Amino acid sequence: MDFTLPNVLLRDPELIRDVSIKNFDHFTDHRSIISEDADPMFSKNVFSLRGERWRQMRNILTPSFTAAKMKFIFQLSSKCSEQFVDYLLDHPKYLTSIDARDMFNRFTIDVIASVAFGVNVNSMKDRENEFFVKGKDVFSSSFNSMVKLLALRFFPRLVKLAGITVIPTDTTNFFRKVIANNLKERKEQDIVRPDMLHLLTQAKDKTTTHELTIDDITSQAFLFFLGGSDSLANLLCYMVHELAVNPNIQERLHEEVNHYFEEMKGEISYETLSKMEYMDMVISETLRKYPSLVFIDRVCTKKFEFPPAAPGYDGAILYPDETIWIPVYAMHHDPKYFPEPEKFDPERFSAKNKDNIVPYAYLPFGTGPRKCIGDRFVQMLVKILMAEFLHKFKIKTTEKTQNPLVFRIDSFTPFPEKGFWIGLERRS
């Protein structure tokens, strides 16, 4: 049950395939938490849109996330990674014991500010810059305020009358102003910057089905900020934690990274990232053990009948507006699909073993047409940063490092009770 609403929980990979791909036309939408009237900024993004409007926006945005376009923004992402690592090299006093969550949160906000909003900031150096402060406001006011989310869901008219929104109005106005001023300056000065804002502007100029407004563009950029920076920071935190407590895995990954730095004479290119096979394996195993979503939901949009579980049984019927949950975290930790699920083992995703993974049992970015549109961007960014990071530093445990991790019970997504603490040792 989701409060008063019943859900069908799928635990069979073939049924997950049927719902998310084969019969996607019956399950095109996510459950709407907040109406567009209640909070346009939060609900106009491609994740929240439904029906034909989602389809139009997805078609507009998809070309912005091809491999060719990722190469387009690689340079900006790489620059942010180098800036981040250089700050740590210049401040060795911080290396003994570091709050990895704060560190990576600052990095991800910087890189998404650059890539999605066209703004250059350095939150490690300028620790209270306006972009970082507003970013903290977003997370403290939305995902950590369950009361507000519940009120918006169950009493939308009352909340609208009271003027309550998921994101504070001054924060929304800040991001909208950043986008509007940036677009105006680029148009007046004929500036072309290889970032997401440029790609969205190109999409705006080409679309004929649904004209993209400033609010539409801001909402998409805001989605990358809201979903990208938080989930990306978590992924990096879990990855460095596992590398710290598994030094043999860390050293093997370090050897691979060093090999390509030497081959490329101290530089890492976009093409080089695709050659880092063990890096791919470590990232995939991190996403398996610690997926950013506990479950994925789908709303039935037209009557659908599941096949009988076995001969002699009746099929199950779903009606419009009823919901399905796909339990990503549970699937990833089911020993039927991943033996010894609590063991961190990148070898599961080696060339020899990855074909043995049951299709649709591994869903770190979802699946089907509503799969996360930014999966390429996330993986590219993690590879860039971790290559720079491991080239310069050895990751170590400290007295504050919790192992094994114990999750808090009051968090919207799995988060360790004692946070993420690591130590860094500069490599010679």
Long-range pairs of 95-99 with CB within 8 A, sequence gap ≥ 24? 95/393, 95/423, 95/424, 95/425, 95/426, 96/398, 96/423, 97/398, 97/399, 97/400, 97/421, 97/422, 97/423, 98/421, 98/422, 98/423, 98/424, 99/419, 99/420, 99/421
Output helix, strand, coil percentages for the chain, rounded to the nearest 5.
Answer: 55, 10, 35
Rounded-to-integer distance, Cα 48 and Cα 356, Å: 34
Pairing relationship of beta strands 317-318 and 304-305 according to DSSP bridges: antiparallel
Q: Which amino acid, one-letter code, is at 208?
A: T
- Which tokens hold the place of 111? 């890189």
Q: Which residues are annotated as a binding site?
A: 372
Rounded-to-integer distance, Cα 231 and Cα 311, Å: 43
Nearest-CA neighbor of 40 among 216, 265, 199, 205? 216
> Dihedral of CA 296/302/306/312: which sign?
positive
Q: Which residues are annotated as a binding site for heme?
A: 372
Contact call for residues 392 and 426 (beta carbons, < 8 A): yes
- Which tokens hold the place of 376? 């390429």
H helices present in 91-129, as ranges: 100-117
